[in-house]
Amino acid sequence: MESSRAAEEKGLDPRVRRTRKLLQDALASLLKRKDFDNISIGDIAEESTLNRATFYDHYPDKFALLECLVGSQFQELVTKRNICFNGCEGALRSIAAGVCYYLAETARPRAGGLWQAGAPMETAIVSVVRRLILDGFAQHPPKPGVPVELVSSTIAWAIYGAAKEWARSPKRMSADRISGAIEKIVAPILTALSQHPAA
């Protein structure tokens, strides 16, 4: 299932998509050589062969660009692995595995790059996970009571927090095993939601 963000990106003018991709690729390349804090808008513009004015036509600052880069990379992984939240058994485990694989493959601790980008990276990943869950709730609405936005955010941050802790561990279990553990931790939130009386 295609997320609302992916559909929105597809609706953009191809030139806009191309320019944003150039800027995201430039930042990804710079992150392999420099800490995020030491990367300037000028560095990104130069690396992308675009000018600063073009950068500001698309992003207000480097943090917004980073969020889009991480969001795009994570969304790509989610799409490639056909991860969605459909309310079925195993859906949470699938999402948790996606976050773990992304952190393990793309944002390795102590390897610089995206990991040291901190909060903007976290926000981007949580945003994609939250959207997946909201898209699932749109197709399979829970019982009324607690706003789905609140539930989606809570689940997304819980999954990300557990996956981040796993990724930081020097002696960690497999991504498949930890995603099962994360599912056990997070699933009661959905159970509580389905039992919540209508307001």
Query: pLDDT tens, 62-107?
Result: 988 988 888 888 878 778 877 766 656 678 888 899 899 888 877 5
Same domain, 94 and 176: yes
Q: What is the pLDDT of residue 113?
A: 52
Q: DSSP secondary-structure letter at 108? A: -
Separation in Å, CA 2 to CA 15, 83, 92, 170: 22, 10, 17, 35
Same domain, 190 and 177: yes
Same domain, 58 and 148: no
Q: What is the pLDDT of residue 1?
A: 39
Q: What is the domain range of residue 50? A: 4-62
Same domain, 134 and 165: yes
Q: Please tell me the total count of domains within the chain.
A: 2
Tell which of 12, 32, 62 closes a domain: 62
Same domain, 100 and 143: yes
- What pTM, to 2 d.p., does this model score? 0.74
